[in-house]
Structure 1
Amino acid sequence: MSTRIAKQQPKMRKQPRQARSRATVETILQSGARILSDEGWAGFTTNKVADLPGISIGSLYQYFPDKLSLVDAIRQRHLDDCLAVIRKSNINQQSSAKFVAHLVHAMVAAHSAYPGLHRVLLDEAPSSDEYRNPNSQFEIEYLAYYAEAVAIFRNRCSRETDHIAAMVMSDAIDGVIHNAARRGTLDSPAIQSELIRLISLYIEDGEKPVTTGKARR
């Protein structure tokens, strides 16, 4: 399990404003993601991150005071990528089957650039209470999108219970994808196909009552 840091992790020293500085920060983030993916938290150092693309360690420290602030930025980039996926999935202009297929394939793609990264972020790299906050802005927007999809594809107005359905659906997608990344099976067409089938059945048939009594013998 990853180490928990009670206080908020250090942030970037400054935000890049010019095209050149934005390109430098992007290079640092990609290099850091690759080092984490290939070598894990134990092998993650700011020197390695700077050496891989051939930038100076001073340039790295100009934006990131230490490796905790760097891993925090890498984690935030991953969350931003996930939000970008759902923002591009147009709920109102496609069937539920096409919506789910597009969503699953796009989420898999977002996790495939550095397959080992997500295992490290989940299991090894330190994380702050801010990242674990269930009421973060990311969680609010992420779950709101799934809740909207539930209401639309069940052909009714939104309900308070849609939030629960949204959590179940998003946790199913995230859980399967993250575990596939851990196992090295993220590119398996069979796993993606089964995940699409699972979510498609849930989002369309979620209104059916579940029998909880004893089964007949």
Structure 2
Amino acid sequence: MPSADRRLDPRRKPSQVRGELTRERILTAAAHVFAEHGYAAGTTNRIAERARVSIGSLYQYFPNKDSILAEILIQHIDRGSWPDVDDLDFSPGTLQAVVRAFIRDAIDNHSDDPRLLRVMIEEAPVSQELLDTIDRHGKLRIAQIRDVIVRHPDIHVGDPDVAADIILFTVEMNTHKFMAAPRTASAETFEEELVAMVTRYLRGDG
């Protein structure tokens, strides 16, 4: 994991509602600017203009556009959710439906503008808060997947911990790539293929 760049830390987190609204307006504007103009042309001046704030106000919250993009990615990760394992059906024969629940949530979590997703994937710099966010969510999701692996009677894998890592990486990386790329197939087709692949792996099919 790369080391964090301290220059990406936001200047301050607002303590009042008005300040928080301004900060969120800057982040929303930046997401639109990055999607429309790309990262190189997505300048802080353009972001401030889109947010209808002065450039001085923008710099009160963020030192540069790198820190803005890092915060957008943090929010993107924090918005993501996976199914509550306790709500899933672990009866024999339900494995494909369980896998589909996880994959469908992953697709929904990456339903942002594909142009913005590409910017986040290709350009997002590494802040300490981003590293902490990735680590926190990764541990949570691996624990959820491992719980499914040890509880579902249709799953046959050698090592639950390694299998959970493989599943998380496979689902997240493939979903990122598919949802950010120009579409050559529908999201429904992608879902079906990924569900089939993961289900076969967990069943131990040859």
In 2, Cα distance between the equivalents of 1:36 and 1:160?
44
Distance (whole Å) between structure 1 residues aligned to residue 40 and residue 186 of structure 2 = 26
Task: Indicate if the aligned counterparts of 1:5 and 1:126 stay in contact, CA closer than 8 A.
Answer: no
Contact kept in structure 2, 1:91 and 1:99, CA below 8 Å: no
Residues 137 and 93 of structure 1, relative CA distance in 2, 3 Å threshold: closer
| Partner residue of 1:68 out of 66, 69, 73 | 66
Q: Distance in 2 between matches of 1:129 and 1:121?
A: 16
Query: Which of 9, 12, 15 is equivalent to 1:11?
Result: 9
Q: Aligned pair in 2 of structure 1 residues 99, 35: CA closer, same or farther (>3 Å)?
A: farther
Structure 1 residue 71: deviation in Å? 1.4
Cα displacement string for residues 167-199 of structure 1 (whole angstroms, at most 9, x for unaligned residues): 111111112211112322285211122122222
Distance in 1 (CA, whole Å) between partners of 2:58 and 2:15 is 15
Instruction: Give the whole-Å Cα distance in 1 for the aligned partners of 2:125 and 2:30.
Output: 15
Count of residues paired in the alignment:
198
Q: Which runs of 5 or more residues in structure 2 are unaligned?
A: 90-94
Q: Report the aligned-residue RMSD.
A: 3.1
Q: Give the drift of 1:94.
A: 1.9
- Matches of 2:149 and 2:173, distance apart in 1: 19
**The residue matched to 1:52 in structure 2 has which SS?**
helix
2:88 maps to amino acid: Q
Q: Helix, strand or coil: the match of 1:42? A: coil
Change (3 A) 1:129 1:19: closer
Runs of 4+ with deviation above 6 angstroms: none
The amino acid that maps onto 2:135 is S
Aligned-residue sequence identity (percent) comes to 26
Q: Shift of residue 155 of structure 1?
A: 7.2
- 1: CA distance, partners of 2:178 / 2:112: 14
Give the distance between the partners of 1:8 and 1:164, measured in 2 at CA: 33
Shift in CA distance, 54/7, structure 1 to aligned 2, threshold 3 Å: closer
Normalised TM-score (structure 1): 0.75
TM-superposed deviation, 1:200: 3.0
User: Relative to 1, partners in 2 of residues 1:45 and 1:122: Cα closer, same or farther, differing over 3 Å?
Assistant: same
- Structure 1 distance, partners of 2:128, 2:15, is 28
Matches within 5 A, 1:1-217: 7-82=5-80, 85-86=81-82, 89-95=83-89, 96-128=95-127, 131=130, 136-154=135-153, 161-185=159-183, 188-203=187-202, 205-206=203-204
